[in-house]
């Protein structure tokens, strides 16, 4: 049972970490977060997640005063106090109590610890279905707390038996609601370059592809390229390399997990095993 979290400079009982009802994070949806996890008891690319969180805050006009050293120390202390060998973390900053409806005072900062959630073996081996939505996230370089479209479509996603929502806009694809996308065509890996969140796992996968002599290109990808791709997969902290075999009601490729995606899964699994 999780008992402790970090809140505004100290580790306290989770039940005592509360926000005022007029916090801008509540009344205006003003805030940003990052989400990361451990492998083998070690936080995965913690420096990169810290840097991305700082950048997310900068994009929306907030600032992080917590040093990296204190950030890292508090994360591991939470693992110890909550007796968790493996865990996920959510670092979150809200705008603080509002002034005159829009201006904020002192922001509120949380570090929350949660159990890890991995894709099922069936999903990793057999692939998943996704649905699409005509949408592009505002402030795509910031991992803001504005997940309205994902929350709004969650019932439709579940009804369709899908695992993710892919955002398309003006015949271009961007990203999933909580993941990045890659497509493979004629042996070449492609992933959207512009107006998407720079996923940490996305970057790890690009580096692994380059290291293993695969060709990977970051570029704008059209909707037509999506639906004619040979293979598709997504990447995310809690999803690893997850194959996509169906978009809405259309199969991707031959409707099975492709060989290149399988190769990449093995490469990625080996990487995290030895991280």
pLDDT digits (tens, 9 = 90+) for 40-63: 999 999 999 999 999 999 999 999
The answer to whether 39 and 45 are in contact (CB under 8 A) is: no
pLDDT digits (tens, 9 = 90+) for 137-181: 999 999 999 999 999 999 999 999 999 999 999 999 999 999 999
Residues 6+ apart with CB under 8 A from 158: none
- Domain co-membership, 47 together with 136: no
Beta strand 4-7 with 88-94 is: unpaired
pLDDT of residue 259: 97
- Domain co-membership, 189 together with 235: yes
Of 96, 114, 132, the position where a domain reaches its end is 114
Domain count, the chain: 2
CATH number, residue 29: 3.30.470.10
Of 65, 80, 114, the position where a domain reaches its end is 114
pTM greater than 0.85? yes
Of 114, 145, 160, the position where a domain reaches its end is 114
> 143 vs 56, 58, 91, CA distance in Å?
6, 11, 11
Low-confidence ranges of the chain (pLDDT < 70): none
Structural domain harbouring 95: 4-114
Q: Which of 197, 206, 59 is nearest to 136 (CA)?
A: 197
Q: Residue 65: exposed, middle, or buried by beta-carbon count in 10 A (0-12, 13-18, 19+)?
A: exposed
- Domain co-membership, 106 together with 125: no
Work out the angle at residue 259's Cα, subtended by the Cα atoms of residues 257 and 263, and round it to the nearest 5 degrees.
110
- Domain co-membership, 125 together with 102: no
pLDDT of residue 100: 83
pLDDT over 90 percentage in the chain: 95
Q: Please state the separation of Cα 55 from the chain's center in Å.
A: 15
Give the largest CA-CA distance in the chain: 57
CA-CA-CA-CA torsion sign (138, 142, 148, 152): positive
pLDDT of residue 105: 80
The answer to whether 169 and 140 are in contact (CB under 8 A) is: no
């Amino acid at each position: 049972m999780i008992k402790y979290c970090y809140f505004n400079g100290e580790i306290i009982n989770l039940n005592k970490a509360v926000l005022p009802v007029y916090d801008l994070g509540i009344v205006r949806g003003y805030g940003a977060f990052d989400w990361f996890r451990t492998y083998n008891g070690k936080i995965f690319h913690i420096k990169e997640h810290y840097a991305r969180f700082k950048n997310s805050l900068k994009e929306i006009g907030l600032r992080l005063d917590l040093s990296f050293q204190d950030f890292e120390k508090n994360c591991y202390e939470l693992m110890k106090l909550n007796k968790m060998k493996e865990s996920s973390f959510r670092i979150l900053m809200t705008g603080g109590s509002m002034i005159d409806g829009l201006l904020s005072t002192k922001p509120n900062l949380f570090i929350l610890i949660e159990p890890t959630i991995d894709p099922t073996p069936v999903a990793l081996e057999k692939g998943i279905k996704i649905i699409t939505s005509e949408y592009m996230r505002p402030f795509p370089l910031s991992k803001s707390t504005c997940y309205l479209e994902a929350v709004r479509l969650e019932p439709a996603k579940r009804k369709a038996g899908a695992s993710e929502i892919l955002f398309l806009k003006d015949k271009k694809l961007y990203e999933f609601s909580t993941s990045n996308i890659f497509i493979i065509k004629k042996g070449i890996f492609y992933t959207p370059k512009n107006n998407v969140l720079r996923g940490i796992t996305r970057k790890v996968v690009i580096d692994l592809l380059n290291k293993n002599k695969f060709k990977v290109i970051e570029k704008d990808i059209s909707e037509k390229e999506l639906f004619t791709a040979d293979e598709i997969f997504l990447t995310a902290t809690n999803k690893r390399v997850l194959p996509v075999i169906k978009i809405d009601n259309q199969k991707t490729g031959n409707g099975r997990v492709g060989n290149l995606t399988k190769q990449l899964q093995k490469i990625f699994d080996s990487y995290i095993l030895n991280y």
